[in-house]
Amino acid sequence: MILGLTVAQGKEGRLGVPSAGDVTSEPHQQAENSVKSILRSVFTTGLLALLGLGLAQALTVHAQGETLPAAQREPFRILHVMSFDSPWRWTDGQFAGFKEGLGSDVRAEYQVFQMDVKRNGSRDAKEQKGREARALIDNWKPDLVYTSDDDAQEFVTRHYLNQKLPFVFSGVNKEPRKHGMEGASNVTGVLEQEHFVESVKLLQVLSPKIRRLAVISDTGPQWPPVIARMRASMDRLPGVELVAVDQVKTFEQFKEKLASYSTVADAVVQLGIFNLAGTDGKNVRYQDVQKWASENGTLPDTSFWIDRVHFGVLASMTISEREQGLAAGRLARAILLDGQSPASLPIKPTVRGHPAINLARAKQLGISVTSTVLLSSEVVTGYEWAKP
């Protein structure tokens, strides 16, 4: 009976049910064996389920880890390499849009590298800035690199093609294949395509007699693709022709060409004005170029960026820097948070333009602006360079 008591206590310890007799009797022994068998089955099944869940989670983490090298740690490290500089509305607006597109719920640590190609305009200077940016990438080891405008692609992105580090770009004028990025497994982004036809039509609303266009630009390598797209879209502007397309190297050549257009053209389209050498061989600040054009140009003019309207062109259906950055930020979110491959995210341009008019320039040219146009556009009342 002592043995029976001992086993009964053991049963109570396992099942919480006290013994009601001699546990060595056959009916009770069979019952105990049955219960033990059930418990062993439940325990074994549960253990296997837990092990299976753990294995599945481990496999999931491992699989995600191959696509998302930074998915297991936040904040994400994001390096922004801008071709140009800050403060400037074009670059700052892209960066602000990128952060908005990435999402306020995403914790991110940023570093910004400015190539400042308006001042570092020679190829040697750009290559040096590219080396500095690449050194920062290699030392800081970001989870994603956000690059804006073409020079950052030429001197930074193309050095990392088909590697694990993801790159997202915006503000790129050239076709991706020109930068060697087409089909790259780790690159996606947003193309910058001008609203040329819409800008000319806006000029025609302000000055209906416009039929002949002159185009002027510096010799930057990003402008030939823009000019090619403009030529290809002329069939959408019936009765309008391109009477001059000039790319010049110096500020003096720019002045001469602009002055000559008054006898052959009805309006001027300005493209790049960043790399115009002055008499000292250094690039003249684009703000100074724009000021001279506003003070001396006698024809209605357009360009494709909002800062140009602030500095003096008459009107533009501008490329939205916010929309460029916003689209890029959404791509970055898809990569970092959703685990999507950059190559699976299509490269495409933004399509929404933003109309803007400079009233000071309109007044200078003797053009009246209707209330309908004013109500549908961003209105700039003066010249940025004239502010104290």
Please tell me whether residues 10 and 98 are part of one structural domain: no
**pTM value?**
0.71
Please tell me whether residues 203 and 190 are part of one structural domain: no
Which tens digit of pLDDT belongs to each residue from 311-356? 999 999 999 999 999 999 999 999 999 999 999 999 999 988 889 9
Please tell me whether residues 206 and 328 are part of one structural domain: no
- Domain of 278, in residue numbers: 196-319+353-386
pLDDT for position 129: 98
Please tell me whether residues 305 and 375 are part of one structural domain: yes
Please tell me whether residues 55 and 104 are part of one structural domain: no
Judge whether residue 36 has pLDDT over 60.
Answer: no
CATH number of the domain that 258 lies in? Answer: 3.40.50.2300
Please tell me whether residues 90 and 238 are part of one structural domain: no
Please tell me whether residues 128 and 103 are part of one structural domain: yes
For the chain, what percent of residues have pLDDT higher than 90?
Answer: 74
Residues 209-218 have a mean pLDDT of: 97
Judge whether residue 154 has pLDDT over 70.
Answer: yes
Which tens digit of pLDDT belongs to each residue from 247-268? 999 999 999 999 999 999 999 9
Judge whether residue 82 has pLDDT over 90.
Answer: yes
Please tell me whether residues 256 and 369 are part of one structural domain: yes
Please tell me whether residues 156 and 108 are part of one structural domain: yes
Overall number of domains in the chain: 3
User: 119-156 as b/e, with b when 16 or more CB fall inside 10 Å?
Assistant: ebbeeeebeebbeebbebbeeeebbbbbbbbbbbbbbb
Which tens digit of pLDDT belongs to each residue from 156-213? 999 999 999 999 999 999 999 999 999 999 999 999 999 999 999 999 999 999 999 9
Q: Which residue has the higher pLDDT, 10 or 301?
A: 301
Please tell me whether residues 381 and 237 are part of one structural domain: yes
Q: Which of 26, 41, 67 is the last residue of a domain?
A: 67
What mean pLDDT, rounded, does the chain reach?
85
Please tell me whether residues 247 and 359 are part of one structural domain: yes
Could you give the CA distance from residue 379 to residue 234 in angstroms, rounded to a whole number? Answer: 27
Residues 6+ away with beta carbon under 8 Å from 49: none
Please tell me whether residues 84 and 63 are part of one structural domain: no
